[in-house]
Structure 1
Amino acid sequence: MSDTDDTTSKVHYICQTYVETTTGRTGQSSLKIGKQFQYTTAEQATGRAERECRSDDCAGADAYMVIEDPQSGEVSEPTFLIRVGKVPELDDF
């Protein structure tokens, strides 16, 4: 049996899609999160974001990474790998 090291930071690669919604009487559009996928490599997350953005129901997609500290449970700010299509402003994160 091998011991696992719970002090090692964990890197998560995520693809997150956005859909455009229309709200209110003015018909003003906004973005909301559509789907999220987690991968083991940056290339997988980036490739999925590029593919998802080409679909008709997707307004845009981000691929980003975060680092999790398993001892505290804290997660770093996202580091964006690619942003395609309509995506929220960085200040919205």
Structure 2
Amino acid sequence: MQDSHRASDKLHYICQTYTEKKTNPQGQGVLEIGKQFQYTSAFEAEGRAEREFRSKLCVGADAYMVSEDPETGEVSTPTFLARLGHVPEFEAF
């Protein structure tokens, strides 16, 4: 699906948090998705990402937007609104 948004597309604003799972005794870890919250505006998603990151319950948080074609169910590539702390590279998203 293209990144351009048609009038019929449904927009989803998402806050996603990340935690770090330790994989060995040296302390190296991998990122895991913690929580996901969906909102009706970019402002709400960004605000939640900032609050979650400040809470220290996660190592990073993203706020992003995707558009969904209701006819096909296809979802666009995410457009990031905020990326805070330790988050995965875009290619891994």
- Using the size of structure 2 for normalisation, the TM-score is 0.88
Partner Cα distance (1:34, 1:66) in 2: 19
- 1:23 maps to 23
Q: What runs of 5+ residues in structure 2 fail to find an aligned partner?
A: 1-6
Q: Does 1:13 find its partner at 2:13?
A: yes
Q: What runs of 5+ residues in structure 1 fail to find an aligned partner?
A: 1-6
Runs of 4+ with deviation above 4 angstroms: none
Percent identical among aligned pairs is 64
2:38 is paired with a residue whose SS is strand
1:56 is paired with a residue whose SS is coil
Of structures 1 and 2, the larger Rg is shown by 1
- RMSD of the TM alignment (CA)? 1.4
- Using the size of structure 1 for normalisation, the TM-score is 0.88
Q: How does 1:2-81 map to 2 (within 5 A)?
A: 8-81=8-81
TM-fit CA distance, 1:78: 0.3
